[in-house]
Amino acid sequence: MSKLEKFRELGLSEETISAIAKKGFEEPSQIQALTIPKLLENTIDIIGQAQTGTGKTAAFGLPIVERIIPGKGFVQALILVPTRELAIQVAEELSSFRGNKDISILPVYGGQSIDTQLRRLKKGVEIVVGTPGRVIDHIKRRTLDLSQIGYFILDEADEMLNMGFLEDIEIIFATTPKEKRTLLFSATMPTRIQKLASNYMPKYELLKVKAKLTADLTDQIYFEVHEASKLEALCRIIDIESEFYALVFCRTRNKADDVARKLSDRGYEAAALHGDITQHQREKILNSFKRKRINILVATDVAARGIDIDDLTHVINFSIPQNPEAYVHRIGRTGRAGRQGTAITFITPSEFRKLMRIQQQTKVEIRKEKLPKVKNVISKKRERVIAEITNILENGNFEDNLPISYELLAKYNADNVIAALMTHAYKDEFSITKYASIDEPSARSKRHPNENYALEENGKTRLFIALGKSDGMDPRKLIDFIQKNAKVDARNIRGLKVFDNFSFANVPFEDAEIIIQTFRNKGRNNKPLVTKAKEKSDSPDRSDRRSDRPKHRR
Ligand code: AMP
């Protein structure tokens, strides 16, 4: 019990401590250590900057369960969350903290029968965890009375704003009493959140944590792969792993459908989850996934919100996330609850800069790795099947099949019999023909060191500039010209090649954005004067052949 002492020191009661012991928590997480004493002692409002996986639910949940007066039968705390899954999850987590206290906790969300919710609300509820839309429904029907709440909590506030719930939150807030504590939790703090906070909390304390309970348990790697080879790459990764229980993220619904269908066609247990899927289907799919009937869920970011499964082995970014926040959110789904997880990002050569930006902003190390080779994948699969068969041989349970064995061995030799049985059971599973070859961009870039992606590997962008010798340019003049107009550091402009009518230069990608913006309508007919160069566009044999300006200028 000595470890739980740290929870005791935060001011929690023995009843709550024993509920925590049952959950198996050993010591408070960072956000819990910061938040719990504040919530138990004084009355200041709090903003907690913490993402999923930091233990934020317990950070507000434990003190609230502690402070609610049991058996009163009226709503004392409202927790607003972005999704129905999160509503259920938060309600379950809070329920696990209440011990024997007579505290009723109700999740309310769209999609569930409103009658069931009405009955529970009528009977009396102390804590409501709801999505904004359904909470408003109840307020309008006068079935939810928030006039006596002591706690108003916005959980995953940034997600709620992203989903367009601002107005709903405002309507709900207006029905709450003046005297209450407001708590806001958000993984990110964009200006919109700060504005929301200052509207609701005249005075608040900002508590910030970075460390997730489990951050160090997620291994983060990336593979450079062409779009067309991603599926093949994914299959190799799945096949080389002895355990694969994963969320695969795709940018669009169509892509998610396409990937899930192709995986199913190749014999994997996969399903797609996205916005076009009905609530009923969604629940069915999530259920199968939780029970591991399917082990691969291919989802869009929106559809994956609120999915909370602790034992995922992998998160795959089939499409690179749109921004660093999305990356953090996606990969936070693995490496949880003390389990090791792997986050894999596929990038196409032109996405290297995006990956660098994610790496810089999230301050994580994303390691480059090479895709597993087919022969290694197959030998791993063989090892596994041999281990499984050895296990059966050593532990029995095959006697019923011995008559088949005798019959076959009477006619054929043992080597052939076993091989035929393998074909019967596994078809072409161990054949290299099952896998297509993958044209790896990194291998190509060695052969063509001038290609763009080779340059982008150093975080640089190759620029095409529609000015050349015929405009009086030489490398020095071109650098001066760019530097003067775009105000970027001249030392960063490298690799200049000046041809008759156009030129190329390498610049860090941040500078590239600035330069392209600066010259966006400075070309002929207000067209861009500088654009990103296309692959191989500076290979002299091509450009020399052309007397006019190349197609880039569009
Ligand atoms: P959350 O960030 O609230 O989504 O919590 C993530 C997971 O960590 C949940 O499964 C919690 O039950 C678990 N958890 C919360 N606090 C602790 C703790 N102090 N020690 C271990 N696990 C925890």
pLDDT tens, position by position, 60-107:
999 999 999 999 999 999 999 998 888 988 999 999 999 899 999 999
Q: What is the DSSP letter of 54?
A: S
25 C-beta closer than 6 A to ligand 1: yes
Residue 421 within a domain: yes
424 versus 450: the higher-pLDDT residue is 424
- 276 close to 303: Cβ distance less than 8 angstroms: no
Residue whose CA is at the smallest distance from ligand 1 atom 15: 55
Query: What is the sign of the dihedral through the CA atoms of 288, 289, 293 and 296?
Result: positive
| Contact 52 CB / ligand 1 (< 6 Å) | yes
pLDDT of residue 439: 84
Query: Is 294 inside a domain boundary?
Result: no
Total domains present in the chain = 3
Please, where are the H alpha helices in 266-321? 279-290, 301-304
Q: Are residues 510 and 407 in the same domain?
A: no
Question: d(Cα 168, Cα 110) in Å, to the nearest integer?
Answer: 14
Backbone angles phi, psi at 274, to 5 degrees: -155, 180
Got the DSSP string for 118-154? Answer: HHHHHH--SEEEE-HHHHHHHHHTT----TT-SEEEE
Q: What does the block give as tokens for 106?
A: 């109700």
- Does the residue 531 lie in any domain? yes
Rounded to 10°, the helix 56-67/30-40 angle is 20
Res. 454: pLDDT tops 50: no
Among 45-59, 313-327, 328-342, 508-522, which stretch is predicted with the lowest mean pLDDT? 328-342
Domain interval for residue 151:
5-208
Domain identity same for 189 and 48: yes
Query: Quick check: is 18 in a domain?
Result: yes
- Asked whether 58 lines ligand 1 (CB < 6 A), one says yes
Same domain, 400 and 472: no
Does residue 279 surpass a pLDDT of 80? Answer: yes
Residue 71 zone, left/alpha/beta (φ > 0; ψ -120 to 50; rest): left
**pLDDT of 536 strictly over 70:** no
Percent of all residues in the chain with a pLDDT value above 70, rounded to a whole number = 90
Ligand 1 mean position, distance from CA 495 (Å): 51
User: What is the whole-number distance in angstroms between the Cα of residue 355 and the centre of ligand 1?
Assistant: 29
The pair of three-digit structure tokens given for residue 243, joined into one six-digit string: 């355990």
Query: By alpha-carbon position, which residue is closest to atom 11 of ligand 1?
Result: 55
Do 435 and 536 lie in one domain? The reply is no
Q: Which burial class, exposed, middle or buried, applies to 106 when counting CB atoms under 10 A from its CB (0-12, 13-18, 19+)?
A: buried
Among 444, 452, 466, 447, smallest CA distance to 526 is for: 466
Same domain, 75 and 160: yes
Separation of CA 99 and ligand 1 centre (Å): 17
CATH of the domain at 414: 3.40.50
Answer yes or no: is pLDDT of 542 > 50: no
Indicate the range of 232-241, 337-346, 414-423 predicted with least confidence. Answer: 337-346
What distance in Å separates the CA atoms of residue 544 and residue 535, rounded to the nearest whole number? 16
Atom 8 of ligand 1 has which residue's CA nearest to it?
Answer: 55
Helix (H) or strand (E) holding 218: strand 218-224
CB 438 within 8 A of CB 232: yes
Cα 51 to ligand 1 centroid, rounded to whole Å: 11
Q: Predicted confidence band at 551 (pLDDT cuts at 50, 70, 90)?
A: very low
- Mean pLDDT (the chain) is 87
pLDDT number for residue 535: 56
Query: How confident is the model over 486-512, as a mean pLDDT?
Result: 85
Q: Is the CB of 55 under 6 A from ligand 1?
A: yes
Residue 393 C-alpha from the chain's centroid: 42
Tell me the CATH number at 93: 3.40.50.300
Identify whether residues 52 and 149 lie together within a single domain. yes
* Residues 6 or more apart in contact with residue 238 via CB below 8 angstroms: 244, 246, 268, 296
**pLDDT above 60 (res 52):** yes
Cα of 329 vs centre of ligand 1, distance in Å, is 16
